[in-house]
Amino acid sequence: MIQCRRATIQDLKFLIDGNRFIAEETEGVELSETKLSPGISAILEDDNKGIYWVATLEDHVIGQILVTYEWSDWRNGQIWWIQSVYVWPSARRQGVFKALLEHVTSEATDASVCELRLYADTSNTDAHTTYLSQGFTTGHYQVFEKSLR
């Protein structure tokens, strides 16, 4: 049975690997462990930056999800952004993302979060299909970005 729990520093290697695999699979980008390690550690050490959860099966990490926060003045509430979603290939199509999303949704409901949001690479149509099947919509916003480093 899939279990979801908050990630700990003991999960750091899995989270590094998961993030490296995400970047490679979805964007063809190679991320270094030396860059990822302090960034992920910062989140694990400070809930104000975000929260990672992992999905496990028989004590093996098989999936991950990160939540970061945005305050909405229009809604007078917090929006949780879902990021760094990764399910190990051997565990795909077995409900791992669904379990992680249900866990995050429950945590968000308990924290009076007003909305969950996520984004996906425009070419990642498998992710689009999965997110739509879990009740997400494309919404009416277009995400723009401007790199500062």
Average pLDDT of the segment spanning 62-83: 97
Its pTM stands at: 0.91
The predicted pLDDT at position 124 comes to 87
Burial pattern 68-83, b for ≥16 Cβ within 10 A else e, equals: eeeeeeeeeeebbebb
The predicted pLDDT at position 83 comes to 96
Asked if pLDDT for residue 8 goes beyond 90, the answer is yes
Asked if pLDDT for residue 10 goes beyond 90, the answer is yes
Percent of the chain past pLDDT 90, that is, above it, reads 85
What counts of helices (H) and strands (E) characterise the chain? Answer: 4, 5
Segment 102-115, tens digit of pLDDT: 999 999 999 999 99
Phi, psi (5° rounding) for residue 136? -75, 150
Sheet containing 51-57, strands listed edge to edge, beginning at the edge strand earlier in sequence: 3-6, 51-57, 60-72, 77-87, 115-118
How far is the C-alpha of 20 from the C-alpha of 86, rounded, in Å?
A: 10
